[in-house]
Amino acid sequence: MPAKRPPPKKVRRTARRPSLPAPVASVDSNLTSPAQQSITGSAGTDPKDDISEIPIGALTLSDQTEGVAENAPKTDRNDKKAFRFLDLPAELRIEIYAQFFAGIDYTIDLDSDNYKRIHKKLGIFRTCRTIYSEASHAFYSTKTFRIFPTQPGRFFNTKKPLLARLNKRQRTCLTSLELRLGPGWGAPPRGWVVTPALGLAECVNVRKLTVLVEIDPSDNALKGFRKADGFYERFSGNLLDRVLAEMPLVKRVHFDAWSSVKKSGPMMTGLIEIAKARGRRICWGPERKWTDRDDDDDVAEQEDTSAVDFMNMMMQQQLVY
């Protein structure tokens, strides 16, 4: 039998790239003079015109001057050196605190507007410990704090007056207190009592106590409206006596009153006698400008108020409280 022929091998054909045409020499290249070749190069072209020699970052259609302006260093405000407040002298910082709290009333009381007028200012206490120590002392030592609230409303009958809401350190910074008598003369609030929770014993730096009398219930215009003869006078005297007993370091008591209150009336004379019995020095406030040489009839000019107008005013005040 004839031998079988092996099957033909399959030959795989790979696709070949099309051959590029051979570069044709430029006609002008042979026409250039040797002088021109020395200027433009041996190839006859400027190397700067070769696209392969141009960096990729330079291939842009935008103006080259824009990139220079954008990459220029900018002067930022944050690059400036920060102002260090604590580097100032302590005396200057205290003066700055005084100017910062200047917009707050001199007398501080429980008031519904305290959040708007005072609360935002006290945010400086949360800066750091040093500023808290300095600013809090500057605030509490330069203001007069009212012992019992006098504003009509929810604070008037509160059992927790302003001093009771302060902590021990804040009460230690206080230097001036005010006891205002007259509001609620027909029925004094139950919260107007001197207790250890009030914290008067911790007010060791208080040197000035102001007693401001708004009304004297013994006036004849209030006859028939007062609770009993001498009731509010005794209440006010006992309250002042308890306050002075809790604050033995207070050496001066400043008495002041509204224009309708007489210095020779039972209200003022009783309070002055209690302060003298405690061995305190009697001083006079700027409202009435009394002096030690005043007569019983008061030398200060009083407002012309008729008995009817005065009684109507007191009735309205009694209804409010």
- For 210-246, how does the pLDDT look when each residue is reduced to its tens digit (9 = 90+)? 999 999 988 877 777 777 778 899 999 999 999 999 9
Residue recorded with tokens 């190069």: 41
* 148, pLDDT greater than 70: yes
Antiparallel, parallel or unpaired: β 144-146 and 252-257: unpaired
User: 3-state SS string over 155-198?
Assistant: CCCCCCCHHHHCCHHHHHHCCEEEEEECCCCCCCCCCCCCCHHH
Characterise 182 by phi-psi region: left (phi > 0), alpha (psi -120 to 50), beta (else). Answer: left
Q: What is the pLDDT of residue 281?
A: 96
- 306 pLDDT band, cuts 50/70/90, is very low
Helix (H, G, I), strand (E, B) or coil at 101: coil
Answer for the pair 106, 144: CB distance below 8 angstroms, yes or no.
yes
Q: What is the mean pLDDT of residues 13-32?
A: 52
Residue 255, helix vs strand vs coil: strand
Verdict on whether the full-model pTM lies above 0.85: no
The label of the residue with tokens 């008031």 reads: 111
Who wins on pLDDT, 51 or 113?
Answer: 113
When pLDDT is averaged across residues 288-312 and rounded to a whole number, the result is: 58
Reduced to 3 states (helix: H, G, I; strand: E, B; else coil), residue 177 is: strand
Return the pLDDT at 4.
61
d(CA 93, CA 89): 6
d(CA 204, CA 173): 8
Question: For 316, left (φ over 0), alpha (ψ -120 to 50), or beta?
Answer: alpha
